Structure 1
Amino acid sequence: MDVNSVTNWNVPLVWEGTFDPIVIDAIYKRMEPRIAVVVFAVGKYTRFLKGFLESGEKHFLVDFRVTYYIFTDNEQDVPKEIDLGEGGAISVINVPSANRWQDVVLGRMKWATFAIDKQIRSKSDYLFMMDIDSIFYNHVGAESLSRLSAVLHRGYYKNTSREAFPYERRPKSRAYIPPGEGDYYDTAAVWGGYVEDMYKLVKYCYEQSEEDAKNNIEAVWQEESHLNKFLLYNKPTKVLSPEYLWSNYDEKPADIRVIRISQLVKNYKDVRPNHGQSERVVDEVGEEGASVKTICVKMEVEVEVEEEEPQTAASYAVVCWGCAGTERDRKRLNRLVRRASSVLDGPLDSIGVVGERRLLAMLTSIMDNTPHLPHETVGALTSSFSGRLLQPSSRTER
């Protein structure tokens, strides 16, 4: 298998085929570890609880003692009839509602810090932080356990230079990572380890976020930015491949032999507070080191940031507007892109170029998915000579 199975600091990098699941599960079961899983299901995110819990019971540390700690503002929506394994349990922890999805993300560290300290640490040996809008598809066993286990982000695990990692690059933030530094980019959607080490890390993310708030700044990827800062200088003892957190938005590439956990496709405007909108931030567009996200947020673009790879300012804007929108909108965004180019010291593609690229990717996705409803129509309108789409000859074809 043509993948690295050891990091440059000589700890395991776990892929399918690098371990024997039967042997490693048997070794850990003798120790009878107590596993805590912390998830947040605030607002409409309770709709994902049933799928997460049921699939977890089929695939996640089966025959281990697993307790799911569900933080929610809607206790009545927590499923009551989940068939848990022996020693399994569900514990509901009530938390306040939030008006912004950013507050939900940042609040996770606050409420998890308090709960781990007062309730969880005395009852658990290992703890995992996971996103509730995920589902288990295949075995996740004791190979995932270590003092501190990180998961490679699916968008940046190959063919990505450290300069392209979406680290926090503004020195004003406590999550700041200088250019030229970094090993990997890890996701904050799945991470775990010894409960005491996780408590230290969760508390760190919470406290650093609070320090940023005092300085009127919010890390570009909230707690994920602080997580990556911590892991850069406090190396994880095991790194899990993107098998352990993929996305249903993306096709499975050849080097991903099995998808174990995957994020679900969802409508952010529907499930998130403030309809998934990003907020205005205090940073000036021209501030040295200002993030691409910040630049576009100032335009009040509704950014589905978690499912997009932040390669350019234009790619953010196209998430919402694509090639559509008024000519005035496109001119405003292209002016913004040009300003972003000067901040980032490099040329960025225009809205039109990025929009066409996205549309081509969407059409390719349709063509690769034969059950897709428009597939026959698109195929019928494709020139057998050039491969290009022909103009429909009548209104009905449109």
Structure 2
Amino acid sequence: MSEAARPSAAQRLPYWELVTMIASLMALNAAAIDILIPALQQIGATLGVETENQRQLAISSYVFGFGAAQIVYGPLSDRFGRRPLLFVGLAIYILASFAAARSPTFEALLVARCIQGIGAAATRVIAVSIVRDCFGGARMASVMSLVMMVFMAVPIIAPNIGNAIMIFGSWQEIFIVNCVFATFVTLWVAARLPETLHPEDKRPLTPRKTAEAFRIVLTNRRSLGYSIAAALLFGVLFGFINQAEQVYTGIFKIGPLFTLYFSTAAFFMAAASFTNSRLVERFGMRRLSHGALCGFIALSAIQLLISGVLGFMPFWLFLPLVILTFGLFGFIGTNFNALALDPLGHVAGTASSVIGFMQTLLGGALGALIGACYDGTLRPLYAGFLLLSLSALVGVLLAERGRMFDRPGEVHLHLPEAEAQTPAE
């Protein structure tokens, strides 16, 4: 029986519910980041943060905890199953959100945010593992695209929710919203999601077996190359998120309603991810993601050139270029993750853990570095875009031994609509 055709306990769920549930688990992470962006200025004023760039640590500390903890959840979930570890992570997330709301100092907030990220790490690792338990190949990429479409819809909504909360309340209420959302998702998962790890795929939790699983992940050329490439591009995304409030309110003087413009780019990322889900089984993951990466590099170079030559970027040009750039990201991130994970179905939990660890920790560190370079202009941001996307291209070439856009044996399918409604082929 092929990986893509393995029966799963998740078949008890309707296809739409499984996809929405997985997306909701991953959306907890996006909600914890993007909902806080409008509150950074008030957090700084309330807790005595001296510099604007220092306020970015409220995001970076979360990303650090989120990235570092992923290395733990995968091996444990391969041994004990997906559900127990998922509930542990959700409980940590809820308690840390409450602690963040009660933080008396900026240092205490950073600790609570780091712990919140540690809890959210379980949702990322296990959500991806569940998808890999149930799907393989291009179908997995299609499902992940649908998941990412919902996941990317959160940055459209979350900053505006955060802005509304800030109008009528304070930044502390933002973390209460995190608590409520996470509690709802926890109850839904507890009631509806069965265990998806196949009994024959459980791995003993011994040093030798764990080291073997890590070796499998780190010595697979395709997985390693695409993981590095995805991490570099997530650095671009985190860099933009870190600087978003300063760019929109500082450079372009948009004011509190900057969240509406920020959401526009997220909307096109979500639309691109949905489009990818409709095209990937026909054209293949490589053609779509490699083409999008080349376009991303070209747009990054154009934006750096314009900002360097003119010394500034008019807003009427900035916004459509940002929309196009991050629209292409919707074709890259999902496919790179699927290409990295596809050969590793027999160690899906550990693979998801290692890949997520590399992507988030490296991407978060690079994003924080880009954010720290903010100097009141767009040049550091665009230089980061170009440098990281070119480096990601090197990762792709490493994964594919220098060949791009297609590979012999990759199947491009267009499945009938009725067939696409079942969780496993």
Query: Do these two structures clear the TM 0.5 threshold for a shared fold by scoring above it?
Result: no
Q: TM-score, normalised by structure 1?
A: 0.26
Q: Which has the higher contact order (CA 8 A, sep 6+)?
A: 2
Bigger Rg, structure 1 or 2 = 1
More strand by share: 1
